[in-house]
Chains A and B, each alone.
Chain A
């Protein structure tokens, strides 16, 4: 049994060696004359602007989440698939029930538009679902409405300019 893992071990060692041996040899051989320009992060030749931390779109998270749930499903279906033939009908029914229940989740996220990557741009087409009309980069809820802030006694007094500014943001 352990001998079967020898293959895995050989692959692992080869992979690690391939990466790190090259990096170490490269580090030993190449000339090192650092200058501030060379040490700055590479942004396609432009000068570096701003922080390296930017807010990503939350849809990356949603996609990773859906992936994780279905990865778990695969982990469960693998032992099922190994024995479905020997157990027979019961296993088949159980397995398909399992997949069908999870399919409901896939249908939900599909219908609700969480899988549409460009939903920002066809907001008018999908009437009825929760679609956005804000720029995709804004993962916050956007600014709170001015009326609510005024109700709390802290809102800015609305001048025409500020109202425009608010609208321009959201």
Chain B
């Protein structure tokens, strides 16, 4: 039964990843990426990391993917971008290398695996205890808020539309103008 669910979730994750690399339109890739995220969340459940599975769905599917979709909506579709040979070549060779290395490492290294796994328990409260223990993860826990603050302010500042001109240097303007992007804009 557990093997069945493992195959289901692993298949979902890998199929989503393959589709993400392969799809012609970036929107389709983003939705395929959702399959990967959900599959990985399912694998977390099988690994007994229930809180992490919920976090994965909340942040990856509910947050990052939405952000990526907004990024797609704000940039134009590039329908000629995919080079099928290149994609297949890179994907196949990299997957082959990764599998080869994984099998090699797996045959050489013996991890310090526990032989008898106990049944998974709810992990949210132990994680909270660990996060708040002074000799545990208390300092990283506080630093996360600083990181998030910097990310929020920084990205809002970068994303904000400016009244000022983006290019404030005439030599930069000249380089851009040679490529025609400026003229196109000025003529618009």
Contacts and interface: CB of A to CB of B under 8 A. Distances in A.
A29 B74 CA distance: 39
B66 A132 contact: no
B156 A79 contact: no
A154 B145 contact: no
A145 B73 contact: no
Given A71-B59, A79-B125, A61 B149 contact: no
B86 to A, nearest CB: 24
Contacts of B151: 69
B127 A79 contact: yes
Given A82-B128, A144-B173, A148-B165, A68 B149 contact: no
Contacts of A90: 132, 134
A98 interface: yes
B177 A114 contact: no
Given A114-B160, A145-B165, A94 B128 contact: no
B66 A68 contact: yes
Interface stretch (A17-25, A36-44, A52-60): A52-60
B74 A55 contact: yes
Given A90-B134, A91-B132, A144 B45 contact: no
Contacts of A169: 188
Given A71-B58, A139-B74, A62 B66 contact: no
Interface of A: 1-2, 5, 53, 55-56, 58, 60-62, 64-69, 71-76, 78-84, 86-87, 90-91, 94, 97-99, 101-102, 104-105, 108-109, 112, 114, 130, 132-134, 139-141, 143-146, 148-149, 151-156, 169
Interface of B: 2, 45, 48, 50-51, 55, 58-59, 62-64, 66-67, 70-71, 73-74, 76-77, 119-122, 124-125, 127-129, 131-132, 134, 138, 141-142, 144-146, 148-149, 151-153, 155-156, 159-167, 170-171, 173-174, 177, 182-183, 185-188
